[in-house]
Amino acid sequence: MRETGGEEKRFTEAFNRLLERDPNKAPGPTALNLELGKTGQRTPLNVLNGRMSVLRRQLLEDAGFVQEAKWGRWHRP
């Protein structure tokens, strides 16, 4: 297993905190950015960079969420 970098580790911890608060709701980009303390000054809060978007998708799948169609909402079956 590889070591996770600082940004990836902080992102995963924020994801887990949000999931712990509401296990049936998929953590979205805005909630994650707010949890990470971002203010939306440079980029909108509803945008994740490519690496974090891929990581979010993997974390959602690992947590048991599914997406019925591309661009659809994530939910637990």
Domain presence at residue 32: yes
Residue-wise pLDDT for 48-68, tens only, equals: 999 999 999 999 999 999 999
Domain presence at residue 1: no
Domain presence at residue 56: yes
Domain count, the chain: 1
Cα separation, 30 vs 33, whole angstroms: 5
Cα separation, 71 vs 33, whole angstroms: 19
Stated pTM of the model: 0.87
Cα separation, 61 vs 37, whole angstroms: 24
Domain presence at residue 47: yes
Residue-wise pLDDT for 26-44, tens only, equals: 999 999 999 999 988 888 9
Domain presence at residue 33: yes
Which residues form the domain of 21?
6-75
* Residues contacting residue 29 through CB under 8 Å, at least 6 positions apart: 45, 46, 47, 48, 53, 56
